Amino acid sequence: MELRNFGRLGRISALTLGGGGIGGVWGTTDRREAVATVHAALDAGITMLDLAPSYGAGFEAEQVAGEALRSASVPAEVMITSKVGLPDDTERDLAFGARIRRGLHASLDRIGRTHLDLFLLHTQIRALSPVPETIGWDEYQEAAAEFERLRDEGLIRAWGITAVGHPERVLAALGDTPRPDAAQVVVNALDLNGYWYFNGVRPESDEIVQRANENGVSVMGIRAVAAGALTTSIDRPMTATDPVAADFARAVSFRKLAADWGTTPAALAHRYALSVPGVPTVVLGVKNRSELDECLAAEAAGPLSGAELDTLRALRAAR
């Protein structure tokens, strides 16, 4: 597994095992297979697990990781990330700092760690008008100050944001002080963003990657397969009005191109994300060892050629 520079945390594997798949967010799995997938990922050289309390019913991803880490010898270099979502309607009486701190300690208990390597704000930052499940700029700055305190105390080594909020505010956060150490940014071949909170606003993912790089913020590429839209088929229940269903329909040409090149859409999608400059690691949404193996093979195949990337850029432009 290729290792790449990841700022404050040093070198990291090109692939990160995400918690969405092992938590059952992206389709059905079971605890035994999920734990085995974590073990297989670590054995393959993956050095980071990217978790969140919201990944799966009953904090399933964190529970899976905790069981996996307790049931096997874990390489010393393995890093753990988790997240905190704000606001939480069950904690409206608590200040943001207290909510963040409580969420961190609960995650540490479930995972079985005394600190997190990376702690991420799992909430979109809005611009002006209120949007459900988002926070404003003042609230973001309050949260950032608490993350800084937690890092100073040694409870976390680094902090970051899920950079899928309003692009104006995300770009501002990447240049603000205090500055996040890392940002999770949507990186996929067709720039599909089915789950998007800001109607009429372009996501600007490419610009966000560039701004992060300019400001020393390490990027984690997420949604390489666009929540399943860039795969052969979506293997979880979905309504006709689900935005990912619309993205899947838009990706017909991508699936055809993958077939023409003798590969699967998922493999091609992951090779694309792994080839994007300025993205040190790509977070996987796999839910079992078979899906993991496909991604490991994509990483082992190496980056796409310049001509292949140009073909995909043309496909994106024509979408």
Burial of 182 (0-12, 13-18, 19+ CB in 10 A): buried
pLDDT score at 94: 77
230/109 Cα distance (integer angstroms): 35
Q: Which residue shows structure tokens 């293997």? A: 235
Q: How far is CA 62 from CA 17, 31, 38, in A?
A: 12, 11, 11
Pairwise CA distance, residues 98 & 82, whole Å: 17
Residue with tokens 């608490």: 146
3-state SS string over the chain? CCEEECHHHCEEECEEEEHHHHCCCCCCCCHHHHHHHHHHHHHCCCCEEECCCCCCCCCHHHHHHHHHHHCCCCCCCCEEEEEECCCCHHHCCCCHHHHHHHHHHHHHHHHCCCCECEEEECCEECCCCCCCCEECHHHHHHHHHHHHHHHHCCCECCEEEECCCCHHHHHHHCCCCCCCCEEEEECCCCCCCCCCCCCCCCCCHHHHHHHHHHCCCEEEEECCCHHHCCCCCCCCCCCCCCHHHHHHHHCHHHHHHHHHCCCCHHHHHHHHHHHCCCCCEEEECCCCHHHHHHHHHHHHCCCCCHHHHHHHHHHHHHC
- In this prediction, residue 297 carries a pLDDT of 98
What would the two tokens of residue 182 be? 């890392």
Per-residue confidence of the chain (319 residues) as pLDDT tens digits? 999 999 999 999 999 999 999 999 998 999 999 999 999 999 999 999 999 999 999 999 999 999 999 987 888 789 999 999 886 556 667 788 899 999 999 999 999 999 999 999 999 999 876 677 788 999 999 999 999 999 999 999 999 999 999 999 999 999 999 999 999 999 999 999 988 888 889 999 999 999 999 999 999 999 999 999 999 999 888 888 899 999 999 999 999 999 999 999 999 999 999 999 999 999 999 999 999 999 999 999 999 999 999 999 999 998 7
Give the per-residue pLDDT at 285. 96
CA distance 116 to 151: 10
CATH number of the domain that residue 265 is part of: 3.20.20.100
- Residue 13: per-residue pLDDT: 98
Largest CA distance in the chain: 57
Q: Is 300 exposed, middle or buried (0-12, 13-18, 19+ CB in 10 A)?
A: exposed
pLDDT at 96: 84
- Among all chains, which residue has been given the structure tokens 């079985």? 112
**Could you give the angle at the alpha carbon of 129 between the alpha carbons of 123 and 131, nearest 5°?**
40
pLDDT of residue 88: 59
- Amino acid 91: pLDDT: 66
5 by Cβ neighbours in 10 Å (0-12 / 13-18 / 19+) ranks as: exposed
- Residue 30 has a pLDDT of 95
Pairing assessment for the beta strands 124-125 and 134-135 based on DSSP bridges: parallel
Give the number of domains in the chain: 1
Residue 162 corresponds to which tokens in the numbers above?
A: 């899920």
Q: Which domain holds residue 70?
A: 3-318
